[in-house]
Structures are given as structure tokens and as C-alpha cells.
Structure 1
Amino acid sequence: MRVFVTGASGAIGRHLVPGLVAAGHEVTATTRTPGKVGQLRAAGAKPVVLDGLDHDAVLAAVADARPEVIVHQMTALAGLRSLRRVDRVFAATNELRTRGTDNLLAAAARADTRRVVAQSHNFVYERSGGPVKTEDDPLDARPITAATRTVTAMKYLDRTVPSTVPEGVVLRYGTFYGPGASEQLLDGVRKRHLPVIGGGTGIWSFIEISDAAAATLAAVERGAPGAYNVVDDEPAPVAQWLPYLAEVAGAKPPRHLPAWLGQLLAGEFVVAQMTAVRGASNEKARRELGWEPRYANWREGFRAWAGSASRAPAR
């Protein structure tokens, strides 16, 4: 098939584009950065420099590619550090998830592209009820104040993609880790900048980055329209996974902070992630996409990730 991948030089795209090419698809891959064109060409794709917020340019690029599937992976999160002011940090990404999504959907309509696969995240679920959410559970109706625009943008994408094109698919990824995906997380653990806050009762779902790309490739080729959680098999509380990551990374155990101090130092959003966020089930993705993660749980994946990071040459 002809597949048009936006944000193709990002964390998922680096794995997805070669996977699509290896599976026999004809790939047009976009990036905002001219310096990354060679990387995309070397992976076997036709590169296009494209600003996802430029309506006319998006229409023209999609019309030229005539894709059967569009993959929406556009974000602007390079250099992400603090999450105290989430909406400020995610402002450009929120634009890509709203106006950028609208541009892609308009282009899909003009090009008669029936299938659009878009990136979302599993932290959109309500922070109440059971510890593990399915795709049928309600989304967060009362997001943290500092993240209101970010959650609203993600909910907009979740709602708009399946309702606009005949085969609209939304992938609610877990927290990425792995080479090139979340070095700041590993660095924070090693420097003991990432404490367990308020008991660490927040439930996280993780997904190793190449596993996320494999699920995206599966969603390009099959699966009914709708949302899918793309996570590993084992949601886990912060109090469990964070000390383990420190251990395999060769770091000292994380510090522990009360919630009130965590809020002063890191903000309300981080405290919510540490104490109240819910995990997600991958049962639907396994069943309907015919996908299963190579790293069934974060223990296996963290060991491999930390080991590869320790063997990487210094820069």
C-alpha cells in the first residue's frame, strides 16, 4: 500500500518507516527538519519536508502521494524537561493534534484516503474507578488545571479521527521507553531527580518504542476503526517500577517525597501521575490487530534498555 507518514523522523517513525518498507509498502515520510531528509531516504522512504500546520502544503503533499493510509505521528516535544506547566510545554503539539489533524483529515478527504492512524496517549482516562482502563472507559472529564488544553487536544483527536474518515484509528500509547525514546527518564533516575511521590500509587502502562512501532504497522494493515491501547501486559504502580528501573540502571534507589512537597517542587500534574493515574489494558489491540509486544512487561524491557544504554559509547 501507499502509506503517508507524518512526523516520520520522531521516536516511533525511526522504527516505523523501515518496518513499513520491509513489509512492502510504498512510504512517503515527512519531517519539519531538512537535515533529516537523508535519514528518511536511507530508510527507504520518499522524504518530504512539511509543516503540518501549513494547510495548503499538507493538501499538496498528500495529493501528490495519493496514499491509501495516512499515519499521524506529528508532535513537537524535542527537549522536553519539566512538566510543571504542561500546556505550555505541549502548546505546539496541541496545535498539531487539533489544527494539524484537521489539515490531514481535509487532505485525506480530497485524496480519497479511507484509513488514518493517529497517535494519542493512555493518560486521557479518568483518574478514578478501577486501576486498569479499557478503550470503553470514560476519558478524563476534569483534567489537571495545568494540562487542560493538552487533554482537550488529545480528546479532540480521539473523537475527530474515527468520526471523520471511514477507517479512523487512534492508538493510545503507553509511556515510551527504549533507545531514542526517553533518555531523560533514564537520566533522571540515575541522577535521583525522579522521586516516588505520595506513596507512588499511580498506575503506569509502558510500551517499548519498537513495540509501539510494530503496533502502528499492524494498525496500518488491519483492525476496525476506533481506539486501541498500545501498552505492555503489565500496568504497574510507580512504587514498583521506579525502584526497579533504578536498580537495573545501576542507580541508587529513588527518594520518597510526600505529595504536598512533590506539588511544590514539580507541580500538580506530576503528582497526579505519581499518585492517581490509571493503567490500560492491551487486550483489544492483541485481539483485533493481531499484535503482541516483544517485551511483554516493563521488567524485561527495562533490563534490555538499561543494558543497551550502559553499553552505548559516550558522546
Structure 2
Amino acid sequence: MDMNDTENVLLAGASGVLGGHIARALRQRGYTVLSLGRGAGNDVVADLMNRDQLLRAVEGLTVHTVVHAATALRKAAMRHRDMFATDDLRVTGTAHLVEAAQLAGARRMIAESMVFGYGYRDFGDRVLTETDDFGCGGRGSDVRHLEGMRVKEELMLNTPGIEGISLRFGLFYGQGGTESIVEMLRKRQLPAVNDRGRVLPWVDLADAGAAVAAAVEDGTPGQAYNIVDDSPLGFGAHLRLVTATFGTPRPFTVPGGLLRPLSYLYEMTRASMRVSNARAKGELGWKPQYPSCADGLRALAAA
């Protein structure tokens, strides 16, 4: 592996589920992927929260692009406090990674973001686009999460000399993610709620990885893109679709208020948003291989 090849992509978060899909999509396009993380198995070993260690680790390295897909999560967040370390990573860790990218001569940076940056609330039938306010408002712990997403985007999009691009992903499902949901449903550990007309945007993990590869090559500097499929679906409806596709016991339905102790999950299940992916289709040439969760789940079950 040539650590100074001009087609190198330094991928923070390569060991994560999304990171694996990103690495696969980039390699399919001929890029050399250098993994960045704390574990000894990474090509570049460093903690994003440790500035001095990170800058030492990339010293002498030359890369084409840096992709920031790192997260502090080891499992799905259920309570607001489960997101706090990731909030910190979005702010402090991103600032350190931008410095490292500049030191390594990176021309382009891609940020993983999420549609909840528009707000953890019910937007009704309004279709959100990239021109809507992002990372603003909120209440309680939401403010902390939104601030993290806003700062991460600003650092990536507004650093002089860096062609920054942000990808605002829908909720992930697919290979490496849905299997844990299936297992929880089989053990009857995961309740569902009545969506009451609420819907959320989703994206298959393989489609998400392909979007990152498309952004590396065709993304417009300073631009954000919504990366979601064509068919929003309620949180409870998604669980029931997983049940039907994989033949697990049906999840028991509980009143939404009973999820209040699981504060972050509660906020997600009460949110509703329809998000446009037109810009990603038009500018990146990206479109989801799986236009709906039903399509992606059927493919996963067949595999």
C-alpha cells in the first residue's frame, strides 16, 4: 500500500458498519482506503479527540480526500446521554480532523451527517430540502445534538482550502444494521409504537456507502446533500416490515408515552419528516438502488 498515493482516501470510522460500506464503495471505484481509528488494526492509529496524537499520526502522509464517518456509538442510542460522546466528537473531533486533513494535503473532505439536523419534530407534509435551517433550535438535550451537527457541517464546509461536502443521511438499515434489529425482535426485546401518520426518511447502508463514493468524485464543494430513499416510512411501520420480511414474532405495540425513559428513542419516534433527495440525484448522479425499505429488506433476506 502506497501511503502517499494521490488517490488515497483517509476514512475515519472505517471499522464501523457504515464505514465498511463506504470503504467497499470507494475500492470499487479504484481508490485506496486508509483506515483511521484508535484500534491497532487501522492503517493510521489515532483518537480523533486527541489532537496531538492525530497530527503525529498523519505527519508525512499525503491523501486526496478525508471522509469523516466516525462515531462514538457502539450500539443504537436509546437515551440522550448515549449521544453525548458523539456530540463531542462532532465538535472537537471534527476540528482536529480538519487540521489533520490540511497537514496531509487533502483537497476534499466528506462529512457524515443526518437528517435529524433539521430538528427532532413533526414537520407534517412539508418536504424538507437542503435549503431549510439545519442544526438550529431544539429544546433540552436536542440542542446539544443539533449544535454538534451544525458545527461539524460548518467546519467541513467552510474551511479555506478544503472542498467540504456534507451528506445528511436518513435512518440506516441493511447489511450490518438490520441483523441486530431482527435478533431483538426474535427475543421480543423491541416494542413498536403507533406511528399515527408520522414518517421518517431511510436509506440502505450500501446506498449510503455509494453516496459517499459519488460525493468524492462529483460533489460540489460547500454543498450539503440529503441521502435518503424515495419512500419515507414510520418507525413502527419499519419494525413491522422487518417482522414480515424475516418472519420474526410481531413486536408488541406500546403507547408512545411508555418510551419516555428511553429519551432519545422517544424523540425519534415522535418526529416526522419528508426529505427530498432531488439534489443528490441531480448533482451526484446518485439514486438509491433500493427505493424503499421493502426493496432493501427483501434483498437482504434473500442474501
Give your verdict on TM over 0.5.
yes
What is the aligned residue count?
A: 293
Query: Which of 179, 193, 198 is 1:197 aligned to?
Result: 193
What do residues 18-67 of structure 1 show as CA deviations (whole Å, max 9, x unaligned)? 33233222332212112x34xxxxxxxxx122211121232233342211
Residue in structure 2 matched with residue 3 of structure 1 by the alignment: 9
SS of aligned partner of 2:272: coil
Residue in structure 2 matched with residue 230 of structure 1 by the alignment: 227
Residue in structure 1 matched with residue 257 of structure 2 by the alignment: 260
Aligned-partner Cα distance in 1 for 2:135–2:102: 30
Query: Which of 246, 249, 259 is 2:246 aligned to?
Result: 249
Counterpart amino acid of 2:165? V
Residue in structure 1 matched with residue 3 of structure 2 by the alignment: none
Counterpart amino acid of 1:156? V
SS of aligned partner of 1:120: strand
Aligned-partner Cα distance in 1 for 2:186–2:196: 18
SS of aligned partner of 2:257: helix
Shift of the alpha carbon at 1:239? 4.6
Shift of the alpha carbon at 1:140? 5.5
The within-5 A match list for 1:122-137 is 122-126=115-119, 127-131=121-125, 132-137=127-132
The within-5 A match list for 1:1-315 is 1-34=7-40, 36-37=41-42, 47-80=43-76, 83=78, 85-86=79-80, 88-126=81-119, 127-131=121-125, 132-139=127-134, 141-165=136-160, 166-225=162-221, 226-263=223-260, 265-267=261-263, 269-308=264-303
SS of aligned partner of 1:247: helix
Aligned-partner Cα distance in 2 for 1:190–1:60: 46
Segments of 5+ residues of structure 1 without an aligned counterpart are 38-46, 309-315
Counterpart amino acid of 2:116? F
Aligned-partner Cα distance in 2 for 1:159–1:201: 33
Report the structure, 1 or 2, having the larger helix content: 1
Q: Percent same amino acid among aligned pairs?
A: 34
- After superposition, the Cα gap between the structure-2 partners of 1:139 and 1:193, relative to the gap in structure 1 and judged at 3 Å, is farther
For the 8 Å contact 1:236–1:279, the answer to whether it is kept is: no
What is the TM-score when the length of structure 1 is the normalising length? 0.84
Segments of 5+ residues of structure 2 without an aligned counterpart are 1-6
- After superposition, the Cα gap between the structure-2 partners of 1:128 and 1:109, relative to the gap in structure 1 and judged at 3 Å, is same
What is the TM-score when the length of structure 2 is the normalising length? 0.87
For the 8 Å contact 1:68–1:115, the answer to whether it is kept is: yes
RMSD: 2.2
SS of aligned partner of 2:14: coil
